[in-house]
Amino acid sequence: MNKNWNSKEFKIGVLGGGQLGRMLIQEAINLNLHIHIMDPDQNAPCASIAQTFTCAAITDFDAVMEFGKDKNLITVEIENVNIEALEMLEKSGVQVYPQPHVLKVIKDKGTQKQFYKKNGIPTSPFVIFDSAQELKNASIELPAVQKLRTGGYDGKGVQILKDAKSSFDAPHLIENLIDFEKEISIIVARNDKGQISTFPSVECEFNPEAHLVEFLFSPAEISQEIEKKAKEIAADLIEKIDMVGILAVEMFLTKSGDILVNEIAPRPHNSGHHTIECCETSQFAQHLRAILSLPLGSTALIQPGAMINLLGEKGHTGTAIYGGLSDLLDHDNVFPHLYGKEQTKPFRKMGHITITGKTLKEVKETAEKIKDIIQITA
């Protein structure tokens, strides 16, 4: 890695200009890093704070090649990018993290599951189909979880399939419904020297209508044995996929005590936002350390925390109006993060709130008090 990584001449490009890129820039400023963003939305959250902003499609080969040709390093904040362009840029000498071979595996949920099976990563049973008709012709026990192989994001492209007539008519996979006790997540990082570091576990509670995380708590209320096992699975996974950067590993803890990997994301993740206030090193700082070949930071938990996603209200689409901010700021140990999105729509992620406290009990009590204070309407 170039020793002048914090000089203006060292250009870090990020494909995607949403809230993850925004928080990455906020962390990068502390290290005097120069972040250049590419996103198809001219009003993307990163547009006003990036060193430079390129408005173009991150799925377009020529646009990504043009953006990347003068960059020293490229990373991503979303998986749906033009991987062929990243492969070409990597061959030309641009460092690309996470590496294109990682993105190829993860971008397709079917390929993801096949990778788990081949490499002994515990996961739920699954079957891959190319179309709705192929599913209808098969003998599959329903209800089951159906996921589009590509294009799904933030709860889209996932459904509980009760009748084959309601199937997605596109390549997809069917997974057994898991009778789980908890959904947990482990954030793990790895640099190019092979150093690996895991964050404390988080426990997720989902909005059943939006299929999005509504709350998360850290540390998860699980035994030390389960925590150790979950971290070992995450570390094993990032090593086997040979990835540099930060990886979010979503898992099910079954009622019998087994841990099954659900999905992974090769970037900072919603389940790691609390690390900004709660851990010695945030997930965003850790990602930057990893891709810059720097020593990974301590992930020790400073204090227990909760994170609440701020979602656009149902039935509201248009210019965002944030109600309740003043009332929210009347509470101690509450930290709002607004993403700078001008337009709201139902269940769109518009921001998050982190709550800290001396104990998890205290954190949960505060979270319950303030969860409905902010209303994002149009």
Residue 106 lies in a domain: no
- 154 & 139 share domain: yes
The helix or strand, by DSSP H or E, that contains position 260, with its residue range, turns out to be strand 259-265
Residue 107 lies in a domain: no
Domains contained in the chain, number: 3
Contact 207, 272 (CB under 8 A): no
Dist CA 297 CA 312 (whole Å): 34
- Residue 152 is predicted with a pLDDT of 77
Cα–Cα distances (Å) from 70 to 35, 109, 312, in that order, read 13, 32, 38
Dist CA 243 CA 365 (whole Å): 38
Dist CA 62 CA 68 (whole Å): 10
Contact 244, 97 (CB under 8 A): yes
Dist CA 51 CA 13 (whole Å): 10
Dist CA 35 CA 22 (whole Å): 10
Residue 324 lies in a domain: yes
The residue with greater pLDDT, 157 or 151, is 157
Residue 108 lies in a domain: no
- Residue 156 is predicted with a pLDDT of 80
Give the DSSP letter string of 287-347: HHHHHTTPPPPP--BSS-EEEEEEEPPTT--EE-EEESHHHHTTSTTEEEEE---SEE-TT
Q: What is the mean pLDDT of residues 84-90?
A: 98
* Among candidate residues 117, 143, 175, the one where a domain is terminated: 175
- 363 & 253 share domain: yes
- 154 & 287 share domain: no
Dist CA 341 CA 324 (whole Å): 17
Q: Name residues whose C-beta falls within 8 Å of residue 148's C-beta, 6 or more positions apart in sequence.
A: 109, 157, 158, 168, 170, 171, 172
Residue 144 lies in a domain: yes
Q: Of 3, 24, 27, 6, whose CA–CA distance to 14 is shortest?
A: 24
- 281 & 323 share domain: yes
Q: Is residue 333 pLDDT above 60, yes or no?
A: yes
Confidence of residue 1 (pLDDT cuts 50, 70, 90): low
Residue 164 lies in a domain: yes
- 64 & 150 share domain: no
Q: What is the pLDDT of residues 8-22, one digit of tens each?
A: 899 999 999 999 999
Confidence of residue 205 (pLDDT cuts 50, 70, 90): confident
Q: What is the mean pLDDT of residues 40-49?
A: 96
The helix or strand, by DSSP H or E, that contains position 159, with its residue range, turns out to be strand 158-161
Q: Of 308, 313, 311, whose CA–CA distance to 366 is shortest?
A: 308
- Exposed/middle/buried for residue 240 (C-beta within 10 Å: 0-12, 13-18, 19+): middle
Q: What is the mean pLDDT of residues 60-70?
A: 98
- 155 & 191 share domain: no
Residue 250 lies in a domain: yes
Give the DSSP letter string of 176-191: PPP-EEEEEEEEEEE-
- 300 & 263 share domain: yes
Contact 345, 317 (CB under 8 A): yes
- 169 & 266 share domain: no
3-state DSSP call for residue 207? strand
Contact 88, 81 (CB under 8 A): no
Which CATH number belongs to the domain containing residue 324 in this structure?
3.30.470.20
Task: Please give the residue range of the domain that contains residue 162.
Answer: 125-175
Residue 118 lies in a domain: no
- Residue 212 is predicted with a pLDDT of 67
- Residue 292 is predicted with a pLDDT of 97
Q: Is residue 215 pLDDT above 90, yes or no?
A: no
Q: Is residue 120 pLDDT above 60, yes or no?
A: yes
* Among candidate residues 147, 175, 203, the one where a domain is terminated: 175
- 237 & 345 share domain: yes
